[in-house]
Amino acid sequence: MPKLKIRAVEAVPMPLPLDKPIGSALGTYTHVDFAVVTVHTEGGPSGTGFSMGLGGAATSAIVPYIENELAPLAIGQDALAPEAFWQRLWGPNKARMRGGLGVWALSALDIACWDIVGKAAGLPLHRLLGGFRDDVPVYASGGWHTLSDAELVAEAEDFASRGFSAYKFKIGTNRDEERTALLRQELGEDFTLFADANQKFNVREAIEVSCMLAEYGVAWFEEPVLADSIDDLAEVAEKSMVPVGAGENHYMRWGFRELCERRAVDYLQPDVCRCGGVTEFMKVAHLADAFNISLSSHLVHEVSISLVGATPRGYMVEFMELIPAGSLTREFVAKDGMMRVPDASGHGVEFTPEAIKKFSSS
């Protein structure tokens, strides 16, 4: 089979403003820190990849790193061999890709490479990866600390009116029980609630909080303790009265293997823009399958829907509308708590030229 050589790599920082500030136990944010990466091939399709985080200015480091260190390694490589491409970028950069922004950068390029493979094959990404199902359950995500009680209930009820049957809200304040009780009272017993602590508690506190969450029928307790301490997470998972989820701050197959082997989670929640891209996300999906653990996803539902839809362990996709309306060339709509996987070749996620011009900070 002929190769499809990479001829150029572009990386553009693109902070996307939020309608209003949002806050969790980690801080308050006014924008989404996006970087858009485009990988061009010789005589073939181009692919689009992403790096993103809430707030901050990570792209001010990620974009130069891609341009100065990763792009030269990518030029001339075969875009139709994503595993070899991944290894080519990771190999010389192991010291800078133990986690963090280095892996965010690698993820963006890997996502773009898989987009090219799908386009070249004329197949949607989820079909290329296994094609387990075409419609995937999604849950609404929000419940920020910056919302008043009335705003919290209004947001949850709005999602419910749009057909969502599950909603995730933030905890980690002295009003956790009041907010949890309010949501349960207003949404009813049949509505699924998830709670996200964003690493707020220590082990003792987390176990106590899990008892409170169990009283209100909360279905999972996300990132109860520091993500770096697997010992703490495993202890909480063993003693918690509510199933535990984590993964958005874990990297590559090795980090997720430890979560699985230690039975530190009941739900794996990789972020495709952080964990190492599509290549590593699918290895995490295979771990979930091998260890019989449910797989969800963190943010970026526009890409994640194709990945969760490709595996039998796929449970739900996190749905959070962070990209300004009209910024993408296609819409990603959830209906009755489900989202249809894109039928376009590749992953189907591209910003319009107008959005890139408007939001680009380069």
Residues 243 and 154 in one domain: yes
Residue 3 has pLDDT above 90, yes or no: no
In a domain, 346, yes or no: no
324-334: per-residue pLDDT in tens? 999 999 999 99
Q: Is residue 347 part of a domain?
A: no
Q: Are 118 and 128 in contact (CB under 8 A)?
A: yes
Domain boundary among 122, 146, 167: 122
**Are 133 and 256 within one domain?**
yes
**SS3 (DSSP) at 295:** strand
Instruction: Report which residue type is found at 293.
Output: I
At residue 362, does pLDDT exceed 60?
Answer: no
pLDDT surpasses 60 at 12? yes
- For residue 10, give its domain range: 6-122
Written as six digits, the tokens of 164 are 């969502």
Per-residue pLDDT of 178-207, as tens digits, reads 999 999 999 999 999 999 999 999 999 999
pLDDT in tens, 151-172: 999 999 999 999 999 999 999 9
Q: Which residue has the tokens 């197949």?
A: 123
239 domain-assigned: yes
Q: So what's the pLDDT on residue 36? A: 96
Q: Is the pLDDT at 48 greater than 60, yes or no?
A: yes
pLDDT for the residue 112: 98
Whether 95 and 237 map to the same domain: the answer is no
* pTM score, whole prediction: 0.96
The tokens describing 267, both together, are 């739900």
With respect to residue 360, please indicate whether it lies within any of the assigned structural domains: no
Give the end of a domain, one of 102, 122, 142.
122
- On the question of pLDDT at 1 being above 90, the answer is no
pLDDT in tens, 270-322: 999 999 999 999 999 999 999 999 999 999 999 999 999 999 999 999 999 99
The CATH number that applies at residue 99 is 3.30.390.10
Taking CA atoms, 168 is separated from 139, 175, 177, 180, 244, in Å, by 7, 16, 15, 11, 13
pLDDT in tens, 61-87: 999 999 999 999 999 999 999 999 999
Query: For residues 331 and 349, what is the distance between their CA atoms, to the nearest angstrom?
Result: 9
Does residue 43 sit within a domain? Answer: yes
What is the reported pLDDT for 237? 98
CATH number at residue 201: 3.20.20.120
Same-domain status, 141 and 69: no
Residues 182 and 287 both lie in one domain: yes
Residue 3 is which amino acid?
K
341-357 pLDDT per residue, tens = 999 999 999 999 999 99
Same domain, 234 and 315: yes
Whether residue 217 is found in the same domain as residue 160: yes
Residues 133 and 89 in one domain: no
Same domain, yes or no: 109 and 140: no
pLDDT digit string (tens) for 253-269?
999 999 999 999 999 99
The answer to the question of residue 306 being in a domain is yes
Tell me the percentage of the chain whose pLDDT exceeds 70.
99
DSSP letters of 156-216?
HHHHHHTT--EEEEE--STTHHHHHHHHHHHH-TTSEEEEE-TT---HHHHHHHHHHHHHT
pLDDT averaged over the chain? 96
Residues 297 and 323 in one domain: yes
Residues 231 and 156 in one domain: yes
Residue 234 in domain: yes
Q: Is the pLDDT of residue 50 over 90?
A: yes
Q: Which of 62, 97, 122 is the last residue of a domain?
A: 122
Q: Are strands 47-54 and 135-141 parallel, antiparallel or unpaired?
A: unpaired
Domains identified in the chain, total number: 2
pLDDT at 2: 74
In a domain, 24, yes or no: yes
* 168 and 55 both lie in a single domain: no
